[in-house]
Structure 1
Amino acid sequence: MTQVTRFTGDAKPYGGGEPYADYRSAEVPFDHLVDLADRRLGAGVIAANDEFFAERENLLIPEPAVFDPEHFGHKGKIMDGWETRRRRGTGPDTPHPADDDHDWALIRLGAPGVIRGIIVDTAHFRGNYPQQISIEATTAPLSAAPEELLAPSTQWTEIVPRTPVGGHAANAFEVDLERRFTHLRLNQHPDGGIARLRVYGEVVADPKWLAALGTFDVVALENGGAAEDASDRFYSPPANTILPGRSRKMDDGWETRRRRDKGSDWVRYRLTEHAEIRAVEIDTGYYKGNSAGWAALYGQDQTSGSDEWFEILPRTRLQPDTVHRFVVEAPAATHVRLDIFPDGGIARLRLHGSLTETGAERLGGRTARL
């Protein structure tokens, strides 16, 4: 583990104005990856030992934490995060908690994967954040109950050792461990509040499940697809296009700035593995006056050692706020590139197909190694 940011100590008390004005953060090398703990992928905080002041579920809200200085309830200040009560010792002679006293929360990842980085965000917890945090990980069925995860037989691997963190800050940790995990245990020592938890990494899908499905979306995040690069991320990230379900609003897709040249925009995706694509869906949902005008899709097969792109879908006119469906015939691919002309928004991309024999063997081998 490498601590990417080192913010220690209290932040200044809130003095009015923009709450994020004195928020402490820095660039991290992994935030372009998928958030494995994204609620939209099916992640959840399934248990916590204490949530007296603020509910554990707040940890995984996709949006940044908000702060309302006037928001109080019958238990005290209501915070947008997970906050436990203050721990105490055993009596007047030992008023402070013991060194190993701590609070914990169990998190089910939305998709199993290899973790590359974690952000423990203490936004707006200025004097009531934990002194230290630690994080453990394990592999279990996604439907495992809290009592199963807490059983003595469950083996946990420490991925972030007990480390000091700062208040009102994005505390970032880089993880270098080639293991596939499904659940985390977030510990705060001895108590306090954490606003958000982000777990960045690479999805590693279950090859047996995909084999049973036969035909599935070979670019979907939950199945191990990824948006590797894009020409423009001005309004929203391209990874939104391969999230589960339909887009719910305009910023739930990928939208580029307005071009003032003669170029076009694009996204490059990595598929689950080597796959044959048989059907394509391009959804411009909620993009009405700003949808992409035309789209084309190209494939690349990196198992052959070639970097040449071949056509899967020719340049095709798109309609605003519409699901477009195409049956295609194309060679197997490991990567695809979606080109849009000249700019605009795409809500979702679906590529329905199945793994080739080569792709199934490669995915199975990687999963076994992890």
Structure 2
Amino acid sequence: MADSPRERKVARPPDFTQLIDLASEFVGGKVSRVLMIHSSFFKEHEYTEFGKWMDGWQTRRKRIPGHDWCVVQLGIQGVIRGFDVDTSYFTGDHAPRVSIQAANFEEDKQPEIPQREVRTGAAATPEEFEAISELKSDDWSCLVPMTELTPGNPASSHNYFPVTSQQRWSHVRLNIFPDGGIARLRVYGTGQKDWTAGDPKEPLDLVTIAYGGACVGFSNAHFGHPNNIIGVGTAKSMADGWETARRLDRPPILENDENGILLVPGCEWAVFRLAHPGVITQIEIDTKYFKGNSPETCKVDGCILTAQEEEDMVRQKWDLPGHKWKPLLPVTKLKPDEMHVLDSLTPELQDVITHAKFTITPDGGVSRLRLKGFPSSICLLRPREKPMMRFSVKAGFRANL
């Protein structure tokens, strides 16, 4: 159970807000406008037949016993590190109190949750209540006890709740007491996969956020965070990718070298912690939607770091000695708006890695990066089409990477 925060007004958002939103519509979260990726907004003079138009979830003024609630299916099952219950613009009608519960249903035992139709001004139907009662959500674990919320004023609309539970969760239940409005619910955490399940002969994307991969450092994210490129599914737009600003050290007139590669002095990079240490055998780089702003070239390098070494590198802004990085993909030209499927050099290197560095030159945008391979604990079970490989992991790496 999470401890209730003593101080509600913070100078800056807590660190857990740098993690992914497990409930976001972009990763498949299911319920209502409270899960939308963009910030809430306000239409001052717009009304509907039910009252003031508000961007979020607002219930009717309750005139019967009980309180209001909704059940959210997370787009990514994982460990929850914290919540943000945002009451932006709900100043005279915000939900005065909230609690949050959670449950975990295994992937092959996901319950059938009826999709709620968009019916503004109406409660759930008896049939919907009956169907949802099968979940027994009243009895789910409590991650946030009943706590007062602040109204939606600009300086105090974000209500942050850290979570200490280490369990994996697939669903959350948001309770408001007794009624009112909430603009956004953010469920911050990391994806988590059962690595013993599935076919050990099939390669997996070891960097995806769905399994627990994460960006742990980058040089520039002017138009989009690198976490976007390890997101779920294909990109939905250019906004669902990683795009950097144009480098200001570009020469006034660009020239190629003898191999047709642009001669530019700088590059941009992002470092990712894999969801599980493993061997990368195939790399997919998708520049979908980036038609006039894709990078000229890219390369991928890998290394193995302990948890302490990662923390040291974060403090040093990833100024890692060159000998630590080993090439997974050499400098490779990229085409705009195209999927690139490339073989990794890993079989020749014979190394397990825990971290990967994706470098683009000189700048630009990428929609998706997939590093497919085999977790170190099961990779020896794959077909031996190539010479037997040596796998070694330094003592001290985090088993739950």
Matched, 1:273 2:257: no
Superposition pairs of residues 161-310 of structure 1, within 5 angstroms: 161-168=145-152, 169-211=157-199, 214-261=202-249, 262-302=265-305, 308-310=324-326
| 1:220 and 1:350 in contact (8 A); partners too | yes
Supply the AA of the counterpart residue of 2:286: D
Q: CA deviation at 1:259?
A: 1.4
| 1:4 and 1:172 in contact (8 A); partners too | no
Q: CA deviation at 1:332?
A: 2.2
Q: CA deviation at 1:210?
A: 4.2
What stretches of structure 2 of length at least 5 have no aligned partner?
113-131, 250-264, 310-319, 381-395
Inter-partner Cα distance in structure 2 for 1:256 and 1:312: 23
Distance 1:72 1:188, change over 3 A: same
| 1:225 and 1:271 in contact (8 A); partners too | yes
Q: Deviations over 1:226-268 (max 9, x none)?
A: 1222111211111110112222222210011121233321111
Superposition pairs of residues 40-55 of structure 1, within 5 angstroms: 40-45=26-31
Q: Deviations over 1:164-195 (max 9, x none)?
A: 11121111111122222111111111100111
Distance 1:122 1:298, change over 3 A: same
The more displaced of 246-255 and 118-127 is 246-255
Inter-partner Cα distance in structure 2 for 1:356 and 1:130: 47
Which residue of 1 is the match for residue 76 of structure 2? 111
Distance 1:218 1:79, change over 3 A: same
| 2:99 and 2:174 in contact (8 A); partners too | yes
Q: CA deviation at 1:206?
A: 2.4
Supply the AA of the counterpart residue of 2:339: V
Supply the AA of the counterpart residue of 1:3: P
TM-score, normalised to structure 1, is: 0.81
Q: CA deviation at 1:113?
A: 1.3
Inter-partner Cα distance in structure 2 for 1:208 and 1:274: 14
Supply the AA of the counterpart residue of 2:41: V
| 2:4 and 2:147 in contact (8 A); partners too | no
Which residue of 2 is the match for residue 19 of structure 1? none
Inter-partner Cα distance in structure 1 for 2:234 and 2:16: 26
Runs of 4+ in 1 over 4 A off after TM superposition: 210-213, 303-307
Inter-partner Cα distance in structure 2 for 1:29 and 1:304: 18
Q: CA deviation at 1:2?
A: 4.8
| 2:291 and 2:336 in contact (8 A); partners too | yes
Whose strand fraction is larger, Structure 1's or Structure 2's?
Answer: 1
Which residue of 2 is the match for residue 10 of structure 1? none
Q: Secondary structure at the match of 2:14?
A: coil
Superposition pairs of residues 60-209 of structure 1, within 5 angstroms: 60-88=35-63, 101-141=66-106, 143-145=110-112, 146-150=132-136, 155-168=139-152, 169-209=157-197
Q: What CA RMSD, in Å, does the superposition of the two structures yield over aligned residues? A: 2.9
Inter-partner Cα distance in structure 1 for 2:268 and 2:199: 34
Q: CA deviation at 1:211?
A: 4.3
Supply the AA of the counterpart residue of 2:364: G
Q: CA deviation at 1:212?
A: 6.0
Distance 1:298 1:104, change over 3 A: same
Inter-partner Cα distance in structure 2 for 1:340 and 1:125: 43
Q: Secondary structure at the match of 1:224?
A: coil
Supply the AA of the counterpart residue of 1:144: P
Inter-partner Cα distance in structure 2 for 1:180 and 1:359: 24
Supply the AA of the counterpart residue of 1:275: G
Q: Secondary structure at the match of 1:244?
A: coil
Inter-partner Cα distance in structure 2 for 1:226 and 1:255: 17
TM-score, normalised to structure 2, is: 0.75
Q: CA deviation at 1:37?
A: 0.8
Inter-partner Cα distance in structure 2 for 1:139 and 1:344: 39
Inter-partner Cα distance in structure 2 for 1:234 and 1:158: 38
What stretches of structure 1 of length at least 5 have no aligned partner?
8-23, 46-56, 90-96
Distance 1:359 1:162, change over 3 A: farther
